[in-house]
Amino acid sequence: MTAGAVRKIGFEWALEGKHPGSFDDYELLDHSRRRLDTRIFQEIRSRYVTGISPQLPQVTIARAKTGQDEQVVRYVVLAIQNWSEHRDGTNRRIAHTRWFYVPYEQLIEHPVTYEALYGAFAALPTELDPAAPPTVDVPALDPLTLSPGGDALSTAALLMTGRPVCVVGAERVEMLERLRFLDTVAALLPYGMRANLTATTWISSTAEHRIRLSFARHAPEGTHTVAWGDGAEIPIGAGQAEFYLDTLATSEIPLLDIMGSLSRQTEPLSFAKQDRMVAMELLHRAAHPRYELEPEPEPEPEEPDRSPSYLHGESNRIDLLSSLTAEEPARGKGRWRRWRRDRRGGGLRRSAALGNRREAAPSLPASMREFAYDQDEPEQLTPYRHDWKWWSTLALWVVLVVALAGFAFIVIFNPKWDTFPALDTILLVSDLALLVAAGLALLFKYVRLPSRVPDWTRARRDQVKRGG
């Protein structure tokens, strides 16, 4: 794909408006008759209602997905709202909204901008032949024509939170400039997210909508607000947005080169959490290409090493424990020391189980690991967890012994129940409660009770323990 190259793109269309002199509400006037039926056109136009702006034209980017021939077909939908030459029965001007449906598969082979699609569709006549297969000439995406500023960087980062973003304070900005802003934000994301990105150059502040990126006079509740010309601060706790913004703003790779790399990532992505993680991974690779991992060569077979296996990280836990226990005496104080080491030596066992996997340099940077799934996480705090378990067990045994001694003292050595019956009863009940609590705690610690709830992480933990 060459930047600026022109290619014909097929599409389907629908026209929304009113009949001249009609008192009816806005409705679907006409549409193409190829693959999509009336139900699809009606559903999309009712889902992305923006209201009628006093300043037209305005553009809305929507999405559609259908099942055709047992295959999912995605569409990037461009809606152009403009004034017509007609008036309704109340002498008000009629606005026409033309909906254009472009199969996303065509945009994978020929990435384009929203501005280029608008220029091609706006030049078409309002009335089209419903039976004819229409095509338009659209130039390819050229990232060099886009110049992202602070507003675009902040907006792209805030989209990584999964919440809608609204740009305010741009009422006097021309529609084409706002459309170019939407293009710039989309260019800071992997191109595949355009298959699910919804945006508009204007929307009524009172409209209930499902549009992810919009321009409005007032931002609705529950959305991130970006002030035109002033950007936006990343909210506290939005770590994914902070990582995305820091990567874009501090990378040694020029921003235009990063955008060019992202434009080649055409696999469809949504704004769900899992796909947002993929988007951050793709951005990291585009911003740090020199740090991409290469596949490790297959290790050559070597003679078995008799030294302690935790120095090499290739043996399993059983080999390590056998090598350690072989050095200990079989009886006496050695057995006590060995028992204590087995109870507290989780860190050593973890090193043998995981080997050098922590040095394998995961593809995500350290600042992102709190958001990504870390397969080694369940074993990272093993030494501290074992220390805590050892002291907690000792404390439980002390409590149990003290409770037993108190119970024996009250029952055996305090026969004068008539002197202070209420006090003796309180002491007896308290001591029994303490005794039962300590006993149950130790019971649940040493006895594994059967559970009907499946342990979905057991297979993964066993694999980690085996060093897989």
**pLDDT over 50 at 47, yes or no:** yes
Other CB atoms within 10 A of residue 121 CB: 21
The predicted model gives 60-77 an average pLDDT of 87
Domain end marker among 292, 325, 346: 292
The per-residue pLDDT of the chain, averaged, comes to 77
**pLDDT over 80 at 110, yes or no:** yes
Q: Is residue 58 domain-resident?
A: yes
More confident residue, 453 or 223: 223
Exposure of 339 in the CB half-sphere (CA atoms within 13 A): 8
**pLDDT over 70 at 426, yes or no:** yes
**pLDDT over 70 at 459, yes or no:** no
pLDDT category, 241, cuts 50, 70, 90?
A: very high
Identify the sign of the CA torsion 394, 396, 401, 402: positive
Residue 64's identity, in one-letter code, is A
- The pLDDT of residue 452 is 42
Pair 250, 102 in one domain: no
- The pLDDT of residue 301 is 59
Pair 171, 87 in one domain: no
Pair 376, 433 in one domain: yes
Pair 206, 327 in one domain: no
CA 429 to chain centre: 53
Pair 322, 467 in one domain: yes
- The pLDDT of residue 128 is 86
Pair 375, 459 in one domain: yes
The predicted model gives 363-387 an average pLDDT of 41
Domain end marker among 106, 141, 176: 141
- The pLDDT of residue 338 is 56
β pairing state of 12-17 and 27-31: antiparallel
**pLDDT over 70 at 46, yes or no:** yes
Flag the least confident range among 86-90, 259-263, 383-387: 383-387
**pLDDT over 60 at 212, yes or no:** yes
Q: Which are the contacts of 405, defined by CB distance < 8 A and separation ≥ 6? A: none
Pair 161, 285 in one domain: yes
Q: Is residue 297 domain-resident?
A: no
Pair 240, 350 in one domain: no
Place of tokens 């770590």: 239
pLDDT category, 224, cuts 50, 70, 90?
A: very high
**pLDDT over 50 at 454, yes or no:** no
Pair 464, 364 in one domain: yes
Q: Is residue 222 domain-resident?
A: yes
Phi/psi for 146 (5° steps) reads -105, 140
C-alpha–C-alpha distance, residues 2 and 265, integer Å: 15
Pair 318, 466 in one domain: yes
Q: Is residue 92 domain-resident?
A: yes
Q: Is residue 309 domain-resident?
A: no
Residue 238's identity, in one-letter code, is A
Place of tokens 């990532």: 265
Exposure of 43 in the CB half-sphere (CA atoms within 13 A): 9
Q: Is residue 301 domain-resident?
A: no
**pLDDT over 90 at 118, yes or no:** yes
Rg (CA), the chain: 33
Flag the least confident range among 324-333, 395-404, 436-445: 324-333
CB 215 within 8 A of CB 170: yes
Q: What residue numbers bound the domain in which 36 lies? A: 1-141
Percent of the chain with pLDDT over 90: 44
**pLDDT over 60 at 369, yes or no:** no
Pair 156, 230 in one domain: yes
CB 347 within 8 A of CB 383: yes
- The pLDDT of residue 54 is 84
CB 364 within 8 A of CB 450: no
C-alpha–C-alpha distance, residues 118 and 138, integer Å: 9
For the record, the structure tokens of 74 come out as: 């995605």
- The pLDDT of residue 422 is 67
- The pLDDT of residue 317 is 40
pLDDT category, 379, cuts 50, 70, 90?
A: very low
3-state secondary structure the chain: CCCCCEEEEECEEEEEECCCCCCCCCEEEEECCCCCCHHHHHHHHHHCCCCCCCCCCEEEEEEEEEEECCEEEEEEEEEEEEEEEEECCCCCEEEEEEEEEEEHHHHHHCCCCHHHHHHHHHCCCCCCCCCCCCEEEEECCCHHHCCCCHHHHHHHHHHHHCCCEEEECCCCCCHHHHHHHHHHHHHCCCHHHHHCCCEECCCCCCCCCCCCEEECCCCCCCCEEEECCCECCCCCCCHHHHHHHHHHHHCCCCHHHHHHHHCCCCCCCCCCHHHHHHHHHHHHHHHCHHHCCCCCCCCCCCCCCCCCHHHCCCCCHHHHHHHHHCCCCCCCHHHHHHHHHHHHCHHHHHHHHHCCHHHHCCCCCHHHCCCCCCCCHHHCCHHHHHHHHHHHHHHHHHHHHHHHHHHHHHHHCCCCCCCCHHHHHHHHHHHHHHHHHHHHHHHHHHCCCCCCCCCCCHHHHHHHHCCC
The predicted model gives 73-80 an average pLDDT of 95
Q: Is residue 306 domain-resident?
A: no
Pair 205, 321 in one domain: no
Place of tokens 């598969």: 105
- The pLDDT of residue 440 is 79
Percent of the chain with pLDDT over 70: 68
β-strand partners of 103: 75
Task: Give tens-digit pLDDT for 297-350.
Answer: 555 655 554 444 434 444 444 443 344 344 444 444 455 555 555 554 443 333
Domain count, the chain: 3
Domain end marker among 230, 262, 292: 292
Q: Is residue 148 domain-resident?
A: yes
**pLDDT over 50 at 197, yes or no:** yes
pLDDT category, 361, cuts 50, 70, 90?
A: very low
